[in-house]
Structure 1
Amino acid sequence: MENVQNQPKIMQQSQSRIPAIYLAIHAIQAHLAKVGIAKSHSTKSNKNKGNSNFQDYNFRSVDDIYNVVTPLLTENNIVCIPDVKSTNVEKLVDSYGKVSHHTHIEVEYKFLSILDESFVTVTMAGEAKDSTDKGSQKALSNAHKYCYIQMFSIPTKSSTDIEQSNQYYDNNNQQSYNYSQNAQYQQSAKQFSPK
Structure 2
Amino acid sequence: MLMTEENTKPKNYVSLAEKIAKANKDIGAIAKDGNNNYQRYSFQSEAAIKAAVQRVISDNKFSIIPNFKVIDKEQQKTQKGGINNFVYVQGTFTITDGIETLIGAMPGAGSDTGEKAVQKACTSAQKYFYKQLFNITDKDEDPDTQDSNPNGGYVGRTNGTAKKPNSQSPKLHTEKQLLEYEITDEKGPVKLVQVVAEAVAGNQDSAATLQKLTGKNKEIYAEIYHRKLYKNWLGSPAKVGK
Measured against the shorter chain, the TM-score band is: 0.5 to 0.7
Give the drift of 1:18.
8.1
Q: What residue number does 1:37 align with?
A: 30
User: Are 2:16 and 1:21 equivalent residues in the alignment?
Assistant: yes
Deviations 1:36-74 (A, max 9, x none): 101122212xxx3xxxxx4x1110010010111112111
Q: What residue number does 2:43 align with?
A: 59
State how far apart, in whole Å, the 1-side matches of 2:137 and 2:119 are.
25
Q: Which amino acid aligns with 2:68?
A: V
| CA RMSD between the two structures | 2.0
Taking structure 1 as reference, are residues 84 and 19 closer, same or farther at Cα in structure 2, changes over 3 Å only?
A: farther
Deviations 1:86-118 (A, max 9, x none): 43221111343210100100011011113xx21
Q: Give matches, 1:1-195, under 5 Å.
A: 20-32=15-27, 35-44=28-37, 48=38, 54=39, 56-114=40-98, 117-157=99-139
- Give the helix-richer structure, 1 or 2: 1
Q: Which amino acid aligns with 2:46?
A: V
Q: Give aligned pairs, total.
A: 129
Q: Which amino acid aligns with 2:95?
A: F
Q: What residue number does 1:7 align with?
A: none
Deviations 1:2-47 (A, max 9, x none): xxxxxxxxxxxxxxx9862101110111112xx3101122212xxx
Is contact 1:19-1:118 (8 Å) kept? no
Unaligned runs of 5+ in 2: 1-11, 141-242
Q: Which amino acid aligns with 1:157?
A: K
Query: How does the TM-score come out when normalised to structure 1?
Result: 0.61
Query: How does the TM-score come out when normalised to structure 2?
Result: 0.50
Q: Percent identity?
A: 23
